[in-house]
Structure 1
Amino acid sequence: MRTRPAGAPQDPTRGADASFLLRTLAAHWPLVGRQAELEVAMDALADPRVRVNVAVGLPGTGKTRFAEEVLALAGGRGHPVARVTASPGSREVPLSALAHLAPAPAGTGADPLQVHRAAAAHARQRVRAAQGRRLVVLVDDLHLLDAASLAVLTRLLDDGLAFVLGTVRSGEPRDPALQALVHGDSALLTEIGDLGRAASRTLLHLALRGPVEAGTVEDLWAASLGNPFYLRELVLHGIRTGSLVQTAGVWRATGRLAAPARLTELMRLRLDGMPAAERAVLDLLAVQDGLSPDDVLALAGTPDHVGAALESLERSGLIRSELQQRRVVLHLAHPVYADTLRATTSELTARRLGTALARRIQALGARRPDDPVRVAGLLLDATGTADPHLLLEAARLARAAHDLDGVARFAGAALAHGDLGEAALLLGGALYELGRFAEADDALLRAQRTSTSEAQTVDMVQVRARLLLFGRVQPDDALDVVRSAAAGVRGPGLADELRALEAAVLVQAGRPGDALPLAQELSSAARSPRAAVLAGLAHAAALTLTGDPAAALAQARRGYAEHQRLGDLPALHPSLHQAEEVLALQEAGRLAAAREVGERAYAGATADRAPFARLRLARLLGRGAVLEGAPRTALRWYLEALSLCRAYGFDGPRRVVLDHLAVAHALLGDPRAAEAALAERDSLPTQLQPYPEQALGSAWASAAAADLPGARRTVELAVACAARTGDVSSERRLLHDLARLGAPAEAATRLLELQSRGDSALATAYLLSATALQSRSAPALREAAEAFEELGARLYAAEAWTSAGVEHRRAGQPREAAWAVTRAARALEHCEGARTPLLLVADSHVPLTAREREVALLAARGRPSREIAEQLCLSVRTVDNHLQNVYGKLGIKGRADIGAALAR
């Protein structure tokens, strides 16, 4: 599990919030992932032929929690309910568990027949009061119920008075009476297993009352394997120790999520008194999981004893075996067990076992692909060092597996033996991706000093350029580094790699028009496969931004396939090609397809621990959600991206994310949150050439604060920037937003000009919308609305339908107006509470003019007429006249009523 990167901020409010949350979490967790089982359970309760429902599962899977939920649902449906807790202690006193169900003496010497009669009378009374509904009795740990109590319950079932809801641990021995009860024709067995990743993510989100960063979800799932009890204990321990914190609204791990004392103590109880042969096997698997039986037999004792120990441990659920490529492999049954075993194994024992296991793997030839990683790790743990060439090979394999922490560990250990250029390069690349930029700089400088080939130099430049661009926010310096290196490289393929890198830097520095010719040339004529892949990535991005998403889509898919065949590239995860595919799909208007590709790619990047790829994909998924009209979904993705930026120190991308975050807040009607995001943005290092769409954060924050003229001025400046740099994609989106903010004429003219720069369904819809807003034509607005609906851009569709309703009403067509408003409302149902200027006053009898709407919005914010006049460059008298028109059209008495009227 990851450690917190240097410089990652802690949440200053964590203490008070954590204290409250800990009390809440310790008391109760929501039930997640059991809906199907609950429905079956309630159907069984309604079926008179079913008398028993037994939840069966391993410890911690939530059997009792499930049974409690069924009991609560039964009570809600009018059934009388009761609870019985069986235990080893109650089993020693027959009938004591049922004392509260039978108003008669119970305990030692009690007559079972007498207890049954009393319990039956009590049950009949409750059933009669419930109009014949059966008494539902929850028996926790049913297998611990004494025989006499079980007999009484069985007779209540035979009388048709009761329904038993029980829990039983998997693998527990059962006496014949219990076996007959739970396996009869009238019994339902409900298997309660561990939760999958998706259900675990939902549970964490609900329990922690906020989103959880995807990598942290993966860590928690890997540590708990979806066992709800283990998951809960890990979360509570993480909050207590500060290794699980909430930052920018997102929960994330800042350190290793170790097993808490409560879990390790449970494991210690199982270890106490364990035979030596079994403990020896567990100690060996704690040092290195995934061993073969032959490895264990060779290192853990005499074959006879070890063979019996393996069988016993598997029966008791402490280890498990699986077949991997015709080879049996042994694992500890749960990751939590390893923590306990390591804590209770002496250092000398662990070192002895690690050294012996490493020597055995080497003696057998280290034939498996991951053997160098296993041997290097074992030797570092046992002795603190290993052969530098072995460590270098382990670092290479860790890089191929996207194990950044492993790369840093092995490459750093290799460098302890002296200057190895490749080790320094691998270390620098890993540290860059982990957000440890100062250390990465040192390693890359060392790699530059000790480089033994042009290929190593080019790889070093690849990493250093990305560090300068995304870590240091110095795009000009990144270009200088690339061009300076290119001047001294002789190999044609390596020279092409650096030219492709130059194109990539130009794109990311906001100069897609300059990047396109270079990327286009190299993507088809590069003199090495690596150069072709690098150029293809830049080419796909440049094509999308310069207005040709169809060509970009084909290039992104081709680049991804070529990257997968080629293997790993320095500081470049394959999912970045998928990110370009997502952007191309969005600009082509295929929003649902973009979301599907993006979510799949994000899951892959998360599994590979690729933080930069994850934050880019998260940002694009947020962008897509805004285009689809889902600002709350966008907010979740932007917060995920922001958490990654903060955790790994990517300040350049962080500025972009904060701008987009401000858009989401503004669309949700929260200008204060939008301004807070922009304030954080302004505290960060600036880019020499901003990404034009970043202006939307400031623009929509102004709009949310009722400053539409200010919003338009911001967008107009960004439009000019996009035009200068050849960013057609951003220019189109900005122009459409300019039309939405009240300047459709200017937007429509330029959007029509841009049609010659490439076309897409989204670009066509933008043009239709702006043109219709300019002409104020109801049929044209309806056409635009239908175009947006077909793309899945529901907020844009709702705005167009709303505007169509306004124009129909203005033309004296109430029936058509009502129909348009209905269509707008239908689209808005999917827009997660979004509010924009075009959605206001849809229900007013006489529509407001654009100027009246601006004045009304400012007045609703509490601005006096003089301030409104100054902001809109009007006289105070003109403002007051507009306000009088607003009052009449909205049917209100004065300024104080404007806000409520606009919100209708």
Structure 2
Amino acid sequence: MTALVGREAEQRVLAALVDGVRASGLRTGSERPAVVLVGEAGTGKTALLGVLEGYAAAVGVRTLGADGCRAESEVPFAALSQLLLPAADLIDELPAHPRAAVTDAVLGGEEAVAPGALHLGVLQLLRRAARRDPVVLVVDDADRLDRESLRALVFVSRRLGPADRIGMVLAGRGDGRVLPGDASLPTVELGPLDDASAALLLDRRPAAPTGAARRDVLRAAAGNPLAIEVLADAGSPLPVELPRRAEALFDAAVRDLPDPVSRLLVVAVAGGGEPVATIQAAAGVPATALGCWGPAEREGLVVVEGATVTFRHPLVRSTVWGLASAEERRRAHLALAAAGDDPELVALHRAEACLTRDEDVAAELAGVAHDAAERGDHRAAAGVWRRAAECSPHPAARLERLRQALGASYAAGDADGVAEQHEAIRAETDDPTVLVFTTLLAAAALMLHGRQREAVRRLQEVVPLIGATTAAGASLLASFLCLAADSSGVPEQRSAADAVMALPAVREAVRRVLADADAPADLMWARATVYDRGEAADLLDRMLVAGRAGPDATANDLQNLGFVADRADDVRRAVELFARAHDRMHHEGPAAFGVPILAALLVEHGRWSAADQVIARWTELAHTRGMHRVAAELAAPRATLAALRGAPDRAHDLVAEARRRIDLADNRLVDLRLRSAAALAAMVDGDRAQAYRQLRAAFTAAGEPLHPGVSPRLVAALAAAASGPGERRDAAMVADRVRTALGTRTSPRLRLLLHHADALVGEEQQAEHHFRLALADPTGQDWPVERATVRLHYGEWLRRRRRPLEAREMLTAALEAFDELGAVALAERVRAELRAAGSAGPKETEREADPLADLTPQQREIVRLAAAGLRNREIADRLFLSPRTVGSHLHHAYPKLGISGRHQLAAVLRAPSSG
């Protein structure tokens, strides 16, 4: 079947029915080969029937169709005639009495039709048709069929048996009883699409709206496929004109309402969530007169329950709004402003009714925007600031409010919103400093979304303003160009950044900024330009001594210091700084560049539960806000964890999905991180050749690091993946080039990695010397996976040299580390090596001391919470996981604990040996 977005399960049901009819006797979910599709208008019933008909034709099943029509619902046998007319040539084969009844019903005879004879004749006619080809009856809008046709279909549906090659699918609106008198047929209810499917359907529309308009359309459509398409094409959640097919749904019902009810509905649309009492007051109706809603309720347009009124269908709102005049819509907002008691909503209604620029209205909106930002609702704040700017009569105030809108859009992670505000600001002013600083935010938003080339283009547009702006502006502009070039890895972008950095005005600006110990621009400069590990370490120490990470430090400042710490390979400080920035991001906006780095550092540092939480929170936020680069980069630590935990297939899927999300030719830094994760998954799979290909792409043909920060950290993994003399020589050459590129001042971590690489692919007589040096520095414990991997390879090397006692000691230490981390894949490899070295690993008595010893760290945490009585959803909320993931972990934990269900967990943890 052709895939309909979000309707995969329903399509499987219909395909199974067709396959069952074709196979004559194979049934799905019921002995009766019939299905009823039920859903509100626009949920996709007709589209599903179209897909069904196409599939049936493709597999040799004939379809007979009919459509219900309100105008023909009082015409006897109207639908039956439409349905059976293609098989009319078989009517003459029927016995005399049923033949006469079917002829009169289908072909319009003059005799009165006897129901019993007709129903029997229809069944016999269909059975004769099915002797030629299997038949499926497809009836749309079955809730609008004439009564006589419905009765005949009920009769047929109740008598179809396994031997008949006949199926029936009926679709209609309602509560599942589109066939009066028979509610026993299996029913498939079409509800709204889930969020992901709704977003996908919207994005497939030509010229689909973006940014705030996209979110407004999705919210207004509420998952209804027809509403998504109509509102997307209109580009507005409340278009004043609907296409004919959508207008026909509710136009007549709305037009037929009495004037007071129509006015009430217009106010309800304008109210958008206001209490019923406020809506009625604004419409001039007493608060207790709920009967005023009766005509609209009886037409199925609204539901009034408690203090709220809900439109039954998203397009009812659009129909009501489109039928109202502009003056009626304006009066509705004014009436709501007069009747309301919420200052924010009053201000918004006044603004909607404002036809000219009005500073009083703009000032009210500014207060609303401030309050929204204070509570962390940056998206709402951005929209209100935009409207405040539109209402502002004074150019200076208008410009300031546009800048506020841009900042709020950036804080909300809305790159399209940032672009819109940036264009508005460029049309409003030619002030160099304003243009430079707003362009920096616009470029930052584009970078978050993986649009590096566009970011560089925007930045280059304001390069001519460097001499006219402040020192901080010039320094930040050069820094952002470096960051974009760093992320993209595209040579021409690196050249563009170098050219700007060489400008005398930029060199002077940087000198002045770096001389000011309190200038935020120096943190960005350090983050963008310092790659020497020794220089980064010295700079970090100076900044920390100067108090730059104090209690008043912003999230951005902490994050920039975190980048410097990461460049220095100071993982403890980097994690602390990024974590502090992460904790403040809810209040200071998503300075999300550092989030993937934080997640990767937590994985490398062995804090996997914390990494899971960061990944879960920010993956969802990145998808919601369209930050494609952040989502793609987060896939790297996520895939790394999956591979380490023994799920390489899942890791490959995550990498493949991330590669589809952004243009990796424009995001080579992300590409390298994904290659590292893919290489690890390949190693777990035993595919060293694939792993080597992935990792080798991090270096030039001559072995030089492609990226000064990421590439050197992959040198040991490249050496481990090398197989055969040619690859070993190549990996040794890469290690030499990396050592040369790093210079004399490197970090303990890179010394560990280089010694590890030399031990694997260097001179054989020096291998043990390098293994020992790789393990010598105690700071290596900050990277437990890398340190344990050195022990694994050292143990393997010792075993091959017939030194089993030493090999077992080294391998046992590696196993303990991998087990503690939950690195299932590597732990199993160590156990295999231990068996080959004559040991089964740690003694069973040691493992029996803790009943949770065989669980991964995350499984232990989930088990303890479940034993304490928390439900899966509560555990999921606490650990930033999905309830399904929690259930999966528990399902896999039960056999390891020797129990069969949740009710036994408390007893396991109460055991004296559990500690």
Correspondence for 1:761 among 766, 784, 793: 784
For residue 404 of structure 1, the aligned residue among 411, 415, 421 is: 415
1:505 is aligned to 2:528: yes
User: 1:418 Cα shift?
Assistant: 3.3
Aligned-partner Cα distance in 2 for 1:704–1:231: 57
Higher alpha-carbon deviation: 742-751 or 326-335:
326-335
**Matches of residues 34-45 of structure 1 in structure 2 within 5 Å?**
none
CA deviation after TM superposition for structure 1 residue 771, in Å? 1.2
2:864 corresponds to: none
| DSSP-derived class of the 2:37 partner | strand
> How far off is 1:500 after superposition?
3.3
| 1:549 Cα deviation from its structure 2 partner | 4.5
Picking from 583, 602, 606, the partner of 2:600 is: 583
Q: Which amino acid aligns with 1:115?
A: L
- In structure 2, what is the Cα distance between the partners aligned to 1:404 and 1:85? 48
Return the offset for 1:322.
11
Aligned 1:530-545 pairs, distance under 5 A: 531=553, 533-534=555-556, 536-541=558-563
2:355 is paired with a residue whose SS is helix
Q: Work out which structure has the larger RCO, using CA pairs closer than 8 Å and 6 or more positions apart in sequence.
A: 1
Cα distance in structure 1, aligned partners of 2:729 and 2:515: 55
Kindly provide the CA deviation profile for residues 138-163 of structure 1, in whole angstroms up to 9, marking residues without a partner as x: 65433133322322343456668599
TM-score (norm 2): 0.59
Do the aligned partners of residues 46 and 62 (structure 1) sit closer, same or farther apart at CA in structure 2, a change above 3 Å counting? same
1:185-334 map, 5 Å: 186=184, 189-198=187-196, 226-227=223-224, 264=243, 266-270=245-249, 275=255, 333=314
- Per the alignment, residue 340 of structure 2 pairs with none
Change in Cα spacing, 1:290 to 1:401, as seen in structure 2 (3 Å) is farther
Does the CA contact (< 8 Å) of 2:536 and 2:568 recur in 1?
A: no
- Asked if residue 707 in structure 1 is aligned to residue 730 in structure 2, the reply is no
Gaps (5+ residues) in structure 1?
A: 1-23, 75-79, 129-134, 238-255, 812-904
Distance 1:379 1:533, change over 3 A: closer
CA distance in 2, matches of 1:695, 1:763: 12
- Corresponding position of 1:516: 537
1:666-705 to 2 correspondence within 5 Å? 691-693=711-713
Partner of 1:57: 39
**TM-aligned CA distance change 1:697 to 1:544, over 3 Å:** same
3-state secondary structure, aligned to 1:56: strand
Name the CA shift for 1:96/1:390 in 2 (closer, same or farther; >3 Å). Answer: same
In the TM superposition, residue 692 of structure 1 has moved relative to its aligned partner by: 0.9
Counterpart mapping for 1:832-871 below 5 A: none
Change beyond 3 A, Cα 1:436–1:761: closer
Quote the offset at 1:711 in angstroms: 3.3
Specify the code of the residue in structure 2 equivalent to 1:87.
G
| Separation in 2, partners of 1:642, 1:217 | 24
- Residue 440 of structure 1 is matched in structure 2 by 459
Corresponding residue number in structure 2 for 1:425: 437
TM-score, reference length from structure 1: 0.60
Alignment of 1:149-168 (within 5 A): 149-156=149-156, 161=161, 167-168=170-171
Residue aligning to 1:617: 634
What secondary structure does 2:41 align onto? coil
In structure 1, what is the Cα distance between the partners aligned to 2:54 and 2:440? 57
Deviations 1:56-76 (A, max 9, x none): 2123434467789999999xx
1:96 corresponding residue in structure 2: 81
| 8 Å CA contact 1:715, 1:734 repeated in 2 | yes
Is 2:510 the counterpart of 1:473?
no
2:405 equivalent in structure 1: 394
CA contact (8 A) 1:405 1:430 kept: no
**Which shifted more, 672-681 or 136-145?**
672-681
In structure 2, distance between residues paired with 1:393 and 1:215: 16
- CA distance in 2: counterparts of 1:258 and 1:44, whole angstroms: 43
* Residue 145 (structure 2) aligns with: 145
Which residue pairs with 2:885 in the alignment?
none
Cα distance in 2 for residues equivalent to 1:673 and 1:233: 47
CA distance in 1, matches of 2:476, 2:316: 37
Cα distance in 1 between the residues matched to 2:725 and 2:225: 44
Q: Name which of structure 1's ranges 382-391 and 466-475 shifts more when overlaid on structure 2.
A: 382-391
Compared with structure 1, are the counterparts of its residues 174 and 659 closer, same or farther at alpha carbon in structure 2 (3 Å cutoff)?
Answer: closer
Q: Once the 2 structures are TM-superposed, how far is the Cα of residue 556 of structure 1 from its aligned partner? A: 2.8
Which letter maps to 1:143?
D
The corresponding residue for 1:772 is 795
- Percent identical among aligned pairs is 19
1:112 to 111, 115, 132: 115
Partner of 1:181: 182
Decide which of 68, 82, 94 is 1:87's aligned counterpart. 68
Question: Which residue is equivalent to 1:604?
Answer: 621
Q: Distance in 2 between matches of 1:574 and 1:539?
A: 13
User: Distance between the aligned counterparts of 1:125 and 1:503, measured in 2?
Assistant: 83
- The one-character-per-residue Cα deviations of 1:570-614 (angstroms, maximum 9, x if unpaired) are xxx333443233122211335565355224312213333445544
Please name the residue that 1:897 is paired with: none
Q: Which amino acid in 1 is paired with 2:536? A: A
- Seen in structure 2, the aligned counterparts of structure 1 residues 202 and 632 have a Cα distance that, compared at 3 Å, is farther
C-alpha displacement of 1:555: 3.7
What amino acid maps onto 1:707 in structure 2? E
The 5 Å alignment of 1:481-500 reads 485=509, 487-488=511-512, 494-495=518-519, 497-500=520-523
- Equivalent residues of 1:56, 1:190 under 8 A apart: yes
Q: Please tell me the residue identity of whatever aligns with 2:192.
A: D
Is contact 1:319-1:333 (8 Å) kept?
no
Rounded Cα–Cα distance in structure 2 between residues aligned with 1:704 and 1:222: 58
List alignment gaps of at least 5 residues for structure 2: 21-25, 331-350, 370-379, 447-453, 840-915
Give the letter aligned to residue 672 of structure 2. Answer: V
Does the C-alpha gap of structure 1 residues 551 and 706 become closer, same or farther in structure 2, counting only changes over 3 Å? same
Q: Report the CA distance between 1:728 and its aligned residue.
A: 4.5
Q: Over aligned residues, Cα RMSD in angstroms?
A: 6.8
- Per the TM alignment, residue 447 of structure 1 is displaced from its structure 2 partner at its CA by 7.6
CA distance in 2, matches of 1:51, 1:492: 80
- The alpha-carbon deviation at position 693 of structure 1 amounts to 3.3
Q: 1-side partners of 2:115 and 2:771: how far apart?
A: 88
CA contact (8 A) 2:414 2:625 kept: yes
Give 2:402's aligned amino acid.
L
Residue 748, structure 1, aligned to residue 771, structure 2: yes
Instruction: Output the CA distance in 1 between the equivalents of 2:364 and 2:214.
Output: 38
Structure 1 residues 501, 375: closer, same or farther in 2, change over 3 A?
closer
* Contact map agreement 1:320 1:333 (CA 8 A) in 2: no
> Does the 8 A contact of 2:739 with 2:754 survive in 1?
yes
Secondary structure of 2:443 counterpart: helix
Distance 1:341 1:695 in 2: 64
* SS at 2:8 equivalent: coil
Q: In the TM superposition, what is the alpha-carbon distance from 1:234 to its structure 2 partner? A: 11
CA contact (8 A) 2:39 2:173 kept: yes
Q: Is the 8 A contact 1:55 1:190 kept in 2?
A: yes
